[in-house]
Amino acid sequence: MKLDSKYFDSLRAKPAGETPAPAAGPTCQWKGCQSVGLYKAPVGRGQEGKYYLFCLDHVRQFNASYNYFEGWSMAEVEAFQKDAIIGHRPTWRTGAGGAIVGAHKRAAFTRAFVDPHAFLGGRFGRDKAAPVRRLKPIERKSLETLGLAEGADRQQIKHRFKELVKRHHPDANGGDKRSENKLREIIQAYNYLKQAGLV
């Protein structure tokens, strides 16, 4: 900047003895405090959206002693934390076909629903039972490895797998190689049944 500039003449420096004017703003709501209250602190549970205004020192003091769950039992606090995972929104169990309505509502809907062209193919339990999937040869072999028949359900497969793992584990058989190889076969068979969706 040049010394003979018109802007140079408009610059002003604060005289040495002046104190800055107090900052404008609301007064701290802490009893007996006259400082400026720029910091929000929650009023309490059930009064969401309402805040006290405190100065920095008093908002720190307030936050150190604030307890949102004051007066709640441990069970109530745990229930609140569990609901917080889903944002306190209602949830429903999903049933067969992804229906989210309750059983009584689904039954009423089924009675009122007419499917003249059978597009849904008995999805609502009217026309026919769900078709049974035929097992592939490798799935049959996996079931045989576990010592189960073709019609075994998930629970039977899991139960049998746990039983066989305990029986053929190397620690239970003193490190016997045959038992170790059998255990490897059992685990492979179970993993394949898992991938196939049977477990």
Neighbouring C-beta atoms of residue 193, cutoff 10 Å: 23
54 phi/psi in degrees, rounded to 5: -125, 160
Q: What share of the chain is helix, strand, coil (3-state, %, to 5)?
A: 45, 5, 50
* 18 part of a folded domain: no
* 20 part of a folded domain: no
* 181 part of a folded domain: yes
Write out pLDDT tens, residues 89-122: 887 777 654 444 455 555 555 556 667 777 766 5
Q: What does the pLDDT read at residue 45?
A: 82
62 falls in which pLDDT band (50, 70, 90)?
Answer: very high
Total domains in the chain come to 3
Residue 70 shares a structural domain with residue 112:
no
Residue 73 shares a structural domain with residue 111:
no
Burial class (CB in 10 A: 0-12, 13-18, 19+), 74: exposed
Write out pLDDT tens, residues 140-165: 999 999 999 888 888 999 999 999 98
CATH number of the domain residue 145 falls in? 1.10.287.110
102 phi/psi in degrees, rounded to 5: -70, 165
Residue 77 shares a structural domain with residue 97:
no
User: What is the DSSP annotation of 76-123?
Assistant: HHHHHHHHHTTTT-------GGG--S-HHHHHHHHHH---TT-SSTTT
Domain encompassing residue 66: 25-87
Q: What does the pLDDT read at residue 177?
A: 82
Residue 108 shares a structural domain with residue 145:
no
In this prediction the pTM is: 0.36
* 7 part of a folded domain: no
Residue 73 shares a structural domain with residue 127:
no
